[in-house]
Structures are given as C-alpha cells and as structure tokens.
Amino acid sequence: MSPTDQPATPAPAERPAGTDPSLLEAARGGDSAALVETVRDWVTTHVPEAWRAAAEAGDLRTLHDIRTPEAYREWYPVLGRSGLAVPTWPVEYCGLGLSDAAARPVLAELRRWRLTVLNIIGVALAGPMLLDFGTDEQRARLLPAIADNTDRWCQLFSEPGAGSDLAGLATRAVPDGDGWRIDGQKVWSSFAHEATRGILLARTDPDLPKHQGITAFALDMDQPGVTVQPLRKISGDAEFNEVFFEGAHVSDADRVGAVGEGWTVARAVLAHERRMLSGAGSGVRERTSGSSVERLVELATRGEPGTRPVDDPVVADAVARLYVENSVVTMTNDRNRALGGRATDPALLKIMSSEHNQRLQMMMADLLGERALAHDPADTEAGRVVFGLLRSRGDTIGGGTSEVHRNNLAERTLKLPRDPYSDRDVPWRDIRRGA
C-alpha cells in the first residue's frame, strides 16, 4: 500500500479504542526480546514497504521524499492506536502499560524505522499532566485523542511580561456560567497555529500572592475569542506564536486540578518539558532540532581516505569531542530514567543537551563549508543542515533559558542562597508592573 492509499484520519467518534492485541500480549508477557520481535512484525505489517526500505538503508533523503509530512500525518493514527506511540501509558488510554525500562527497547526499535512521535507537546506534556492531575473522565476523553494525533496540543504559559518570572502571569480566568471567561495574551507558544487544545495557565484570584491564585485548564483552541498570530524565526519557519484571548470560554469540566493549584500543575509540566528537551536517551526526543551525531560522523567520513574532512586532525578532534558529548548526554539520560529521575536534576540535562546540540549543528554547517552559505534551493541536504543550525539557536531559550536553569541548579543542587524575591508574598494585584 502506498502512503497516498492510507485511510484518512478518523473522526474522534469513529476512533476504535484499545491497543494492538499482539503488542499487548507481548507487553504483558514480560519478555523484552519477544516484545521487540513483535514490534518488528507490526512494523512489517503496518508500515508502507517503501518507507521501511528507506529507513532500513539509512537513506534519509529518499525517506523524506517519499514519506512527506502530510503522508505521515495521514498514516499516523495507525501507530497511535497500536500502543507504540505512548507505550508507558495505561492500556485503556492507547498505551501498553510498560515501565520506562521496559519501553526503552520498544522506543529504540521505533527509532530504527524512523517512526517519530507527532504531537510532541500532547504526548510529552499534556498527557503526563492529565495522568498526574486529570480526572478519570478527562483522561478517557482526552488521552486517546493525543495518542493518535486527533487532538494536537500547545502550551499556553509564557506572556510578554511573564517569561522567566512565569508566576507573574496576567491572563485572567473569571467565573462565567458553567465555566470561565479567559482574557489575556500568551507568547512563544509552539505549534499553537495548528493546535486544537492548549495547556493554559490563568490567574483566577489576583488578591493572592503570584504563585497562588493560578489555575490550569485544557483550553479548546478552536473557538471565537482565540486569535493566533505566528512569529517568524531566524530559520524562516513560524513554529512559535502569540495567542490572544478576548472573551474565550473554557468549561469547568476542562479545569485540570483544583482552583488555585495551577502552580503545582505548572511545575510538573515544566519538569516534563525539561525531560522532553534533555536530548538523546531521554526517551522522548533525541534532540531538539537539526542533524544527529550519526549524520555528523557520516558527513565527516564521506569520500575516499585522504580527501575526507575527518582526515584533518582538527576536524577529527572536533567530531570525536561531539561524539563523546552525545554519548555522555545519552548515558546520563539513561541513568536518570533508570533511577526514576533521581540521578540528575532535569535542569542540568536540559543545559547539557541544548548547548551540545548547538555545537553539533554548528559543526555540521562547518563541514559543508561554502555549501552552507550558497542557499541553493536544489541542495536539500545543505538546506536541512542550515535550518538545523538556525533552529538550534533557540534550544537554550525554549523550555527555560540556560541562565534560569543554572540559577535553579545553584539553589537546588549547590544549596546557594536563593535570589531575593521582594514580591513573593505580595498580593498579585499590588505588584508593580511596567513603568
């Protein structure tokens, strides 16, 4: 079956529940090797042959040509409903009920076939939030639609006046009939332009100090009163957005956690975000943007001995350093996952991986030399490398800046004195803002 022959994404009411029976049986059997073999059989049965052949050969250029983003999104519900997209989620929510350790070889097998997870904010942030704080009704209603990409999510946290100081957010949620009226503005909201739902933090009680009086919601983005404006980046794309709320509505049934407990929800979501952005071995994303270290090695060793970039000792040293860095990030993430997140502060992992990735993407561009500067539309490889380089500049900003994370490490890990917060105990409405 060709990618274009795949069925269209089903409407939520048509979406079958549950996971693939053979995968579920193998997951319950507890035999890791048997589970991986079952995953391999599933891939052979359900993934188009041309996609498999290109992935197995490591021919990413051909894979990108034949498996367009549109074709992959159309096919993706097959993966989402199998249990493989979210293997650690409970079975009733389209997962396989695996532990992190048991899911590791499953995710490695998916990476082998280049079966990447779509709806990353839904899978990595909204899903864990609902599992931690949602009601049974919310989980049953929202989680399967995240798994199969029916509902795509964004994160509505940062504001023009509340970025590093997120607790100072000003977007208001006021009781309105059976729900809440939302007014305010968010910024740097990744994928908001294509999201159907958003994790919203809004202030419900301005008379309390800023870390209190905040409530979390699962907001429907497709409604009057929600306006999304893209923010074009240096890389040319518009992943980030501004979002304006003017009388938007959210039902109380979509409130996540208790009224006024939004900061607790936010801290948990931010912890999941740091894990998502912590790079190779994290189990969520291998890197935030750009090419892999394997691609770097392939580019450096391309050609005949004596003419390869890696034959230059300076280049060889730089490539080796980056390979070692990537291995350290991977092993540190593996160890942290194995110990339930207690081995290393996620802030440290986020700093390590984001700064490493910037060096990695810069080296990719260095190896291309003048090709990286030519802007030749026909040179798709150079185009992807340059895009990865430009996109990586945001890695140390998104998900909390490296400066903020270093501050957190100083306070939490090194036990240095906390920064003085003169407004920590002041009612939010009395805090001076602006000029």
d(CA 89, CA 77): 16
The type of residue at 294 is E
Do residues 144 and 15 make contact, with C-beta atoms less than 8 angstroms apart?
yes
In 122-231, where does DSSP find H-type helix? Answer: 127-133, 136-147
User: Per 3-state DSSP, what percentage of the chain is helix, strand, and coil (rounded to 5)?
Assistant: 50, 15, 35
Between strands 153-156 and 197-203, the pairing is: parallel
Torsion of CA 110, 114, 119, 122, to 10 degrees: 30
Cα dist from 308 to 91, 249, 300, whole Å: 50, 60, 7
Do residues 109 and 39 make contact, with C-beta atoms less than 8 angstroms apart?
yes
Greatest extent of the chain over all pairs of C-alpha atoms, in Å:
75
Structure tokens of 13? 């009411």
Structure tokens of 58? 């490591």
Q: Which of 109, 159, 239, 273 is catalytic?
A: 273
Distance of CA 254 to the CA centre of its chain: 22
Interacting residues of 219 by C-beta distance below 8 A, sequence separation 6+: 156, 182, 197, 198, 199, 200, 226, 248, 250, 254
Closest listed residue to residue 210, CA positions, set 426, 432, 433: 426
The conformational region for residue 18 under phi > 0 = left, psi -120 to 50 = alpha, else beta, is left
Phi, psi of 110 (to 5 degrees): -65, -40
Q: H or E stretch including 228?
A: strand 226-231
Cα dist from 113 to 46, 47, 78, 109, 327, whole Å: 12, 9, 15, 7, 21
Q: How many helices (H) and strands (E) does the chain have?
A: 16, 8
Structure tokens of 223? 């409604």
Closest listed residue to residue 165, CA positions, set 435, 421, 425, 429: 421
The type of residue at 435 is A
- 325 in catalytic set: no
Give me Rg for the CA atoms of the chain.
23
Catalytic residues, by residue number, are 273
